[in-house]
Amino acid sequence: MTGSSVGARELRGGQVALCTVTANNYLGRACVMARSLVDIHPDLVPFVGITDKGQRPSQLDREPLSVISLEDIGLALNELTFGLRREQLAVVAKPALIAHLLDVGFETVVYLDPDMLVCSKLDSVIEIVSESAVTLTPHLLDETSLESEIAILLSGVYNAGFVGVSSKGRGFVDWWLDRTLVNPENDVENCVYYDQRWLDLAPSMFEGVMVLRDRGVNVAYWNMAERELDRREGNLVAGTAPVKILHFSGFDLRCPEQASVHFGGVSADSLGPEAKRVFKEYAAMVQEVDRQLGSTDEYGYGVFKSGEPIPDVARLIYRELGEEAARFNNPFDDTHPSSFANWLNAPALIDEARVCPAITNLWERVYRLRPDVQAAYPDLTGNDREGFVAWTRSSGLAEHGVGEAFRI
């Protein structure tokens, strides 16, 4: 099995495609997921959409997966690769990859997050996905604490780590991609949580949406308290249900005693002894594959041509410029005078005083992002100029992940 693009081989293998999306940092996890899947379903070699660039590890060719590039799914566009942060690009690539696989002829597509692990046969799940237009898994299948339920109401009833779509659900995928593209952000107060909250509307707005209430699918820290992991005759169960898919969302390999870094940290201990063992084993598996791959946390779209890291706010500004951004040609190239990076360092329009030091386009946008900073320095281009500039140097650079190249 090799890391080739979509070909006849996969299509002959059946009309079902499994897929995931990852940047290089989660490539090891994606390989672990692929291995776990192929161990159980040798015919279901997953497609892995890689939302990153740079040299791919040669070991990847020996992994049981087919690589799909951003070019394959039409997303290799500056407005996306530069305009979005790493996690945002992956979120947008998800519906795009599902659409692509449906369009090349698969009738049933199951998307799994790269940090999932397949533990037993998925036949019943695939059957449901193929019979429905869209299949979603709720985070919660049991009443739990008020706090957990509110957290789920804010982030989305259905977990976007598992999404099944058949050809009947093609319209849903277009809508989901369209809605997600506008603002793939963590902005729960305004009802946006990357791509996830939109799913709350799917069972109403589309025909044939299946709410899959299988306690063995998408077992994760947010529902393990209600379905404790255990072994029965050697097989993993969640409550009484055989575990089919585990989800290690927010799991940091460096601290396997923590099940998730989300919600201020969830200890693996609190989820029971079997869960603790599972988290530890998963960490070891991923670490081993990461070692084989020579994985790195570096993001290919994370730096300018010069190597200077791209601050998040620069991506936001670029996206907000819309069509105007085209005048910069390649925004990653910061080595020429009319580059986007240079424009970020140019005085902002509001700063007409031409007093030194000028408030630059980048820092003017940061200022607008921060009501607290506005309150502290209300007269940005007058009395508070010095104070604000001092703040950018003492706090702003670090708080916004801005490098020295953009120092005022």
Partner 1 sequence: MVIAESVREFNPDLFIAMLVIPEKTEHEEIDCFGPEDLNLPDLRSREFAYPETVLTYALTAAFMRLLLNSGYATSLLFVKQESMVVGDLAPIFDELEEGEILLTPHLLAPLGEGRDRELNILHSGAYNGGVLGVTQGEESTRFLNWWDARLATNCRHKVGAGMHFEQRWLDLVPGLFGSVVISRDPGFNIGHWCLPERPISVEGQRVLADASPARIFRFSGYDPDAPEFPTIHSDRVATAALGDAAIVFERYRSAAKLARSVIEDTASAPVACFTNGVPIPDAARDLYLEVSKQDFGDPFDSEGPESFFEWLKQPVDDGTPAITNLWHHVHQIRTDLRGAFRDHLGSDREAFAAWIVSSGIHEHDIDPALA
Stretch that binds partner 1, among 67-75, 94-102, 201-209, 244-252 (CB under 8 A): 201-209
145: contact with partner 1 by CB under 8 A: no
Stretch that binds partner 1, among 60-68, 207-215, 243-251, 300-308 (CB under 8 A): 207-215
- Rounded CA-CA distance 338/395 in Å is 29
Secondary-structure breakdown of the chain: helix, strand, coil percentages, each rounded to the nearest 5: 45, 15, 40
- Rounded CA-CA distance 250/262 in Å is 6
Residue where the block lists tokens 């890689």 = 50
Q: Single out the residue of 53, 56, 170, 179 in contact with partner 1 (rule: CB under 8 A).
A: 179
Which amino acid type is present at position 132?
A: S
Least distance from partner 1 to the Cβ atom of residue 238, Å: 15
Is the Cβ of residue 191 or residue 284 nearer to partner 1 in the bound state? 191
Is the Cβ of residue 18 or residue 157 nearer to partner 1 in the bound state? 157
Is the Cβ of residue 136 or residue 402 nearer to partner 1 in the bound state? 136
Stretch that binds partner 1, among 45-53, 139-147, 249-257, 319-327 (CB under 8 A): 139-147
* Cα dihedral 276→281→283→285 (10° resolution): -170
- Rounded CA-CA distance 211/112 in Å is 16
- Within 336-385, strands assigned E span none
Residue where the block lists tokens 């109403």 = 204
157: contact with partner 1 by CB under 8 A: yes
- List C-alpha distances in Å: 126 to 21, 49, 69, 193: 19, 20, 25, 27
149: contact with partner 1 by CB under 8 A: yes
175: contact with partner 1 by CB under 8 A: yes
Q: Single out the residue of 14, 138, 239, 250 in contact with partner 1 (rule: CB under 8 A).
A: 138
Q: Single out the residue of 79, 185, 200, 228 in contact with partner 1 (rule: CB under 8 A).
A: 200
- Within 233-307, strands assigned E span 235-238, 241-242, 245-247, 258-260, 266-267
The site string for partner 1 over 354-373 (x = CB under 8 A, - otherwise) reads --------------------
Binding site for partner 1 (CB under 8 A): 138-143, 146, 149-154, 157-158, 171, 175, 179, 182, 188-192, 197-198, 200-201, 203-205, 207, 211, 213, 375
